[in-house]
Amino acid sequence: MIIKVKNKESLIFDDFIFRCAVGKKGISSRKKEGDFCTPRGSFNLGTVYYRSDRVRSIKTKLKLIKIKKSMGWCDDPNSKKYNSLIKIKDKFKHEKLYRKDNKYDIFVVISYNLKKPVPFKGSAIFLHLTKNYRSTAGCIALNKKDLLILLRLINKKTKIRIF
């Protein structure tokens, strides 16, 4: 099964059409770090990360990991750990995963630029939460109810196609 993101406002899976938000500058085949674009292409979905103090239960066939205060995602193109999970004590530029806002209470890693990451090609591309559908820095955002429904429906073989 394939999740389809055809435009800036709709994510489609099977018979479900969910409202979503994408990067502030739209969808691009030439994604670069910090360009506010969502990468175009077909990607696998990875691990689901969640805040256990804010989310009671998630029903999914994907791997689940609880977010800890020490977790970050390296977005430093000059680091060997670029575009991967790190401990915040590492001295690399990073995105905090344990946030005050609710954006990362639940998120799914989109497998963009993960295997042998190319520096400056883009990092931390997630399917995460939104309350207001404002444009993202390059991720895809859904409201909590819709993301929880989607997580019940998908599995390890599900791909996301952004075009």
Give the range of the structural domain holding residue 88, as residue numbers without chain letter. Answer: 2-162
What CATH number does the domain containing 153 carry? 2.40.440.10
C-alpha dihedral (133, 20, 109, 156), degrees to nearest 10: 150
Kindly give, in sequence order, each residue whose CB lies less than 8 Å from that of residue 101, ignoring residues fewer than 6 positions away. Answer: none
DSSP state at residue 34: T
Query: How high is the pLDDT of residue 92?
Result: 79
| Number of domains composing the chain | 1
pLDDT tens profile 87-117: 998 677 899 999 999 999 999 999 999 999 9
- The average pLDDT across 29-41 equals 98
